[in-house]
Amino acid sequence: GDGFRSGFLAGQSWGLGLERSAQVGSLLATLVLETVGTQEYQVKVADFLDRLTDSYGADAEAEVRPHLIVE
């Protein structure tokens, strides 16, 4: 829940559409669920963008990338 909401609301604050915001939220929720523990997860931007591309295509990555600080 929290991971999805935070990703979705981030997408909305960036001016992304509902579908793209939901994709960001879904991916963040997936990363959270893959982590053991409650708040121990860390999101690496490059990995996030790679998985976003794998899951939703290059257009999704191109739309989200400008809103993230790439390491």
Q: Give the single-character DSSP code of 35.
A: S
Q: Which of 60, 10, 6, 69 is nearest to 32 (CA)?
A: 6
Residue of 2, 47, 50, 59 marked catalytic: 2
Decide if 49 contacts 64 (C-beta within 8 A): yes
Judge whether 59 counts as a catalytic residue. no
- Nearest-angstrom CA–CA distance, 62 and 58: 6
Catalytic residues: 2
